[in-house]
Amino acid sequence: MFAEFEAKTGMTQGPTAMMRHEHEQMRNLMRQLLDALEAGDKDKFMGTSETLMILLQQHNMKEEQMLYPMAQQHLSAEAPRIIDMMQSIVVE
């Protein structure tokens, strides 16, 4: 969806750039959680999980209040095609 949004609006350094950055932060925190779990470091695990929870809450609010309304405004005509494309993506 991000690529479609950027192509349609020309905004490549706006909300989608922030979402990508936050997605990478969340992936990094998930790796840290796995490392803490493997090391048996309960304090590190709990602290990292709290950080992840806060980031996710803030991230979801930005998506729901900013990105989704903007995407609906600019991409509603292409919604069926974008949904089909997103459903075909395999996540490893």
pLDDT in tens, 21-77: 999 999 999 999 999 999 999 999 999 999 999 999 999 999 888 888 888 887 776
Cα 27 from chain centroid? Answer: 9
pTM reported for the whole predicted model: 0.73
- Whole-number pLDDT of residue 10: 82
Cα separation, 33 vs 42, whole angstroms: 10
- Whole-number pLDDT of residue 79: 67
- Work out the burial of residue 8: count CB atoms within 10 Å of its CB; fewer than 13 is exposed, 13-18 middle, 19 or more buried: middle
The H-assigned helical ranges of 1-41 are: 2-9, 15-39
Measured CA to CA in angstroms, residue 26 lies from 8, 34, 50, 62 at distances of 27, 12, 12, 15
- Whole-number pLDDT of residue 5: 78
- What's the pLDDT band for 3 if we cut at 50, 70, 90? confident
